[in-house]
A and B are shown apart, each in its own frame.
Chain A
Amino acid sequence: MRVGSWQFLVGSLIVVLVLLVSACTPAPPASKPAEKKETIKYGILASLTGAWATQGAQHKNLSEMAIRDINAQGGVNGAMMELVVEDDKSTPEAGVAATEKLITRDKVVAIGGSYSSGVTLAAMKVATRLETPMITWSVANEITDQGSKYIFRPGQKALWYAEAMVKFAKDEIGANTGALVHTDDAYGTSTAKSIKEVAEAQGLKVLADEAYSPQSVDLSPVIIKLKAARPDVVLAVSSVNDSKLLVTQSHQLDFNPKAIIGGGGGFSTLEYIEGAGKDSEYTFSTVDWTPDVKWPGANEIYERYQKEFGRQFNLSSISVAYIIPGIVAEAAKNAGGVADKTKFRDALASVDMKDSMYGPIKFDKNGQNQHSVLVVQVQNGKFVTVWPKQWAPTSFKPVPSWDKR
């Protein structure tokens, strides 16, 4: 009777579980004392597990910090803000489920997230259908090109990274030719494609275009090819591991372009500086935010974060998680509360913040903010903002050849 006893066991387990769940679900508050003021619920899709777990944890920490800061200053017209965190597991399916839950069960007024463009593209459909604003920190162009009334992006789109890289290479480095290297995954391939288009349109000749696996353990063949092509600059779309290999092996093979410019990704991470050490000096990367940029309060947030969590956060598409609760609070203030959803959405669309820690914020009709892409250079083991001049505290140092370092 093995089967029988199994069935009995499973059956009784289900019964126990059902009982437990119903016991845990709180009964509707029969006579809750009248609340002083409604709370404003803000939800985030954080990738707490899966491929983007590192970034997801940083988004969550920064969101918590922001909500705490807003509440410490008296909240929004006396109403406190409350954060609801959902894990999108770095996958679109989980992101969709989490979005539905945040809107229908938790009744959040706005959603922040997510890191992966795939997750955001899937989740924004749900948010649009349920008429709840979503304020994203992912970068795919399509997100704000679709004309949804419920999507907002304080940061830049991927295309602007490409434009900044090419502009910096041409105007600042004085390059006429470039070589493109990128990972062969979806992110690397699509970003590289737009860099190539921008470069050709702007008159930067692309001499080589090399794709490689992000799991490569040896990139010397790539460097050997680049060395033979003799480009003025290298434009790289990479993850962490390959950024280190690109510079250490460039050093080993004595490949000396005028500049190596990373399009965010690995070249803007702390792991890259830690891993590549001295070889990371003088390399450039585009980022959306830096602690030393001339935006008020930027450095303070960075230092407080480090003190509280014992670790710095990444530079690409992370700090924006701190400003989004501020944008929501601003809109709620202007709309006189969040009870009227249409009024709140319209207030969000017309937010105009001149000096936030994330730069000026004003959405266009697609919900896209004209965010300025920054360029950093590694100087003495630190990322220093060097471009554009309007926001950068210093200028860049010319790159010496390997034998002169």
Chain B
Amino acid sequence: MDFQVLAQGLVSGILIAGIYALFASGITLLFGIMRIVNFGHGELLMLAGYISYWLYLGFKMDPFVSVWISMAVLFVVGMFVQRFLINRVLSAAEENQIVLTLGLGIFLQNAIMLGWSPDPMSIRTPYSSEVLRFLGVSISIPSLGVLVLCLLFISIMFIFLTRTNWGKAIRAVAQSRQGAMLVGINVNRMLLITFGFSAALAAAAGSLLAPITYVFPTMGLSYIVKGFIIVVLGGMGSITGALLGSLIIGVVESLSAIYISTGYKDAFSLLVFLLVLVFRPGGLLGKTRV
């Protein structure tokens, strides 16, 4: 196998990392700020996929346009979920939180299955097979678009959290909910915004994936496990960690599939994951909690 194969493998790994990163950063944001692990995150992605599909069906809208709408819708949905569901279990035992988010996911999945259909639906874009060829390496244009948007969204998120007053307030809430309340931060509002952002990131992944694969009620399941692996690998709560984790998992999967066996690509990414945990139990960029 020559240089071209290696380069192509690297490019494929980096491109798929974009989707992983969008999805994982939503999970990690929620965990970092609220200490909530959202098992329904995959279904928020699925919901966004359907929004893009419906907009395509009704108005022939391109997913790169409808992604903005689905993000806005999911931001609101996320705030509702936070206000009426998550808020009630914020200080409850962890099992209760898990059951609630898991239940939300199962509910959404079945609601779509009943209300729409279990069949895979597709969005067709005229450029779905277009590629850039560079030194014999093919770069898929839609995947490249996803990667660019992914970096954009995550940078916006990062700047928001580090540079703005609201972002600082949110980080204060993450450090200590009580402390934040004492200095006059509207904690409930910050939590609403956080959940909204997390849902919007899932929405970005869902809408951008829709034209690459299919939209179907259980589509979230393909990502949820991988999402958690990436989040833990990068360090729970760290957005840069999620980016790094996505890149590692994407590239390891791609290269191990090419040089060893596609059947074992998950085995190799899990092996890397375990090795990281052995030497850094808190993940690559995470703090080990005592």
Contact = CB atoms under 8 A, between A and B. Distances in A.
B258 A271 contact: no
A249 B118 CA distance: 25
Given A218-B12, A240-B120, A224 B5 contact: yes
Contacts of A221: 9, 12, 253-255, 257-258, 262, 265
B124 A275 contact: yes
A252 B138 contact: yes
Interface in A372-390: none
A241 B213 contact: yes
B214 A54 contact: no
A251 interface: yes
A251 B8 contact: no
Q: Name, among B124, B130, B263, the residue most crowded by chain A CB atoms within 10 Å (CB to CB).
A: B263
A54 B217 CA distance: 13
A10 B249 CA distance: 51
Given A54-B118, A252-B131, A210 B124 contact: no
Contact size range, B: 35 or more
Contact of A244 (B8, B214, B261): B214
A253 interface: yes
Contact of B12 (A212, A224, A271): A224
Given A241-B120, A244-B122, 12 more contacts: A217-B16, A217-B212, A220-B12, A221-B257, A225-B262, A244-B214, A245-B212, A245-B213, A252-B130, A252-B131, A271-B119, A271-B214
Contacts of B121: 271
Contact of B209 (A210, A217, A279): A217
A210 B265 CA distance: 11
A274 B8 contact: no
B125 to A, nearest CB: 9
Given A245-B213, A248-B129, A274 B261 contact: no
A216 B253 CA distance: 11
Q: Which interface residue of A211, A212, A220, A254 has the most chain B CB atoms within 10 A?
A: A220
Contacts of A252: 129-131, 138, 140
Contacts of A241: 120, 213-214
A55 B238 CA distance: 44
A126 B255 CA distance: 49
Nearest to A222: B262
A215 interface: yes
B128 interface: yes
Contacts of B150: none
Q: Is the interface of A mostly helix, strand, loop or mixed?
A: helix
A53 B120 CA distance: 12
A27 interface: no
A184 interface: yes
A356 interface: no
A275 B9 contact: no
A400 interface: no
Contacts of A218: 12, 15-16, 254
A251 B128 CA distance: 10
A213 interface: yes
Interface string B244-262: 0000000001110110011
Interface in A184-218: 184, 210-213, 215-218
What band does the interface of chain A fall in when counting residues whose beta carbon is under 8 Å from B? 20 to 34
A241 B209 CA distance: 12
B62 interface: no
Interface string B100-125: 00000000000000000111111010
Given A271-B214, A274-B124, A275-B214, A224 B263 contact: no
A277 interface: yes
A228 interface: yes
A224 B7 CA distance: 11
Interface in B8-60: 8-9, 12, 15-16, 19
Residue among B122, B124, B253 facing the most chain A CB atoms (10 A cut-off): B122
Nearest to B17: A218
B222 A215 contact: yes
A320 B162 CA distance: 63
A212 B263 contact: yes
Contacts of B214: 240-241, 244, 271, 275
Contacts of B12: 218, 220-221, 224
Interface in A235-261: 240-241, 244-245, 248-249, 251-254
B216 to A, nearest CB: 8
Given A240-B120, A241-B213, A248-B128, A220 B254 contact: yes
A211 B267 CA distance: 13
Interface string A252-283: 11100000000000000001001101110000
A270 to B, nearest CB: 9
Contacts of B118: 53-54
A253 B122 contact: no
A231 to B, nearest CB: 15
Contacts of A251: 129
A222 B262 CA distance: 7
Contact of B124 (A216, A222, A277): A277
B97 to A, nearest CB: 25
Interface string A7-34: 0000000000000000000000000000
Nearest to B257: A221
Given A213-B266, A222-B262, A228-B1, A271 B138 contact: no
Interface string B206-249: 00010011100000011100000000000000000000000000
Interface in A138-188: 184
CB-based closest 9 A-B pairs:
A221-B257, A275-B122, A211-B263, A215-B222, A220-B12, A251-B129, A218-B16, A210-B262, A252-B131
A270 B82 CA distance: 39
A252 B12 CA distance: 11
Nearest to A250: B129
